[in-house]
Structure 1
Amino acid sequence: MDSLSELFRLEMLPWHMVLRGTVVYWFLLLVFRFLLRRDVGSLGVADLLFVVLVADASSNAMQGEYKTIGDGLVLISTLVAWNYLLDWGSYHSPLVSRLIEPPPEPLVKHGRIVQRTLRRQLITVDELMSKLREKGIAELSDVRLVMLESDGELSVRKYKT
């Protein structure tokens, strides 16, 4: 029974792990929100590799050198709590929602590509046209509005036919 209690004991101070988890969570949130582009509804190999490497690097920063399950549970609970609090805050506050989720941006207006948005989001015309073809759009002239949503998906409004 003594070895079981060893697994769950805390080697680090709980507030120390909460602080580590909080700092890394907010740093990564800011990186993902402001520095990384939204891809057009897909996750490329380089993006996936980046996420895996960030996860590994951030886990080392958050963990310190803990070795017990109890330390890991405190850290995981901190990350879950921040994630829940931000979801709750964005549901109840438009300001929090605007800070966390990027606003939708127009990619096509009245059959014309909005080049400024494509440049800012680093989306090529070929990528855009590929995604539009997936949605059954063959000609830009059929499109009234295409928006890049906060989740990277495209919403398309066609002219009435």
Structure 2
Amino acid sequence: MNINWNEIFGITVSPLELVVRGTAIYFFLFVIFRVLIKRRVGSIGMADILILVIVADAAQNGMAGDYRSVSEAFILIGTIICWNQFLDWLSFHVPQLKSVLEPAPLLLINKGQILWRNMQKEYMTESELLSKLREHEITDLKEIEKAYMESDGQITVLKKKP
């Protein structure tokens, strides 16, 4: 068995091209997932996983070009991870960017009343909201002072004081 180490670890595509491709695909996906789609209620569902797999497969060809070695894959993956870390760091140190990169909490219930317009903005149904409220052991909307959808899709509930 003869292993061609140069084929496995050699670099056949310019590392700069790999960085540019990785950067372009990262920012395209970043805009789609963090700015346009913003948030979803609850955890990741099967449809979300399917979308991620399809997007990853579709992006792979545009990002990778004709690379064949693991070294080139390492450069692409490193580029994507670095941009992700940098943007997280930047939004932490520049608060103005955080409001652009992450949506502010959205008020869903105010003084026991559902704010239907805000529910509609997030395509959230009443049954989804009630399900999330039951997780907080709330069965009556009158118990709630305010309820927010956070940037990660979780629901935060502030109960009325007795």
The equivalent of 2:40 in structure 1 is 39
The equivalent of 1:87 in structure 2 is 88
Checking the alignment, whether the CA contact within 8 Å between 2:7 and 2:68 is kept in structure 1 is no
Runs of 4+ with >4 A deviation = none
The equivalent of 2:155 in structure 1 is 154
Measured after TM superposition, the shift of residue 34 of structure 1 is: 2.9
TM-score by length of 2: 0.93
| 2:145 corresponds to 1:144 | yes
Measured after TM superposition, the shift of residue 51 of structure 1 is: 1.1
Checking the alignment, whether the CA contact within 8 Å between 2:106 and 2:149 is kept in structure 1 is yes
Checking the alignment, whether the CA contact within 8 Å between 2:22 and 2:76 is kept in structure 1 is yes
The equivalent of 2:105 in structure 1 is 104
Q: Unmatched 5+ residue regions in structure 2?
A: none
Which deviations, in whole Å up to 9, do the C-alpha atoms of 1:37-75 show, x marking residues without a partner?
A: 522122222222111111111122111121101111110
Distance in 2 separating the partners of 1:122 and 1:114:
12
Q: How many aligned positions are there?
A: 161
Distance in 2 separating the partners of 1:2 and 1:128:
57
Which deviations, in whole Å up to 9, do the C-alpha atoms of 1:100-152 show, x marking residues without a partner?
A: 11111001111001111111100001100111011101000000010100111
TM-score by length of 1: 0.94
Letter of the aligned partner of 2:116 in structure 1? Q
Any idea what SS the aligned residue of 1:17 has?
Answer: helix
The equivalent of 2:10 in structure 1 is 9
Checking the alignment, whether the CA contact within 8 Å between 1:37 and 1:121 is kept in structure 2 is no
Q: Percent identity over the alignment?
A: 40
Measured after TM superposition, the shift of residue 20 of structure 1 is: 0.7
Q: Unmatched 5+ residue regions in structure 1?
A: none
The equivalent of 2:136 in structure 1 is 135
Q: CA RMSD in A?
A: 1.5
Letter of the aligned partner of 1:118 in structure 2? M
Checking the alignment, whether the CA contact within 8 Å between 1:37 and 1:122 is kept in structure 2 is no
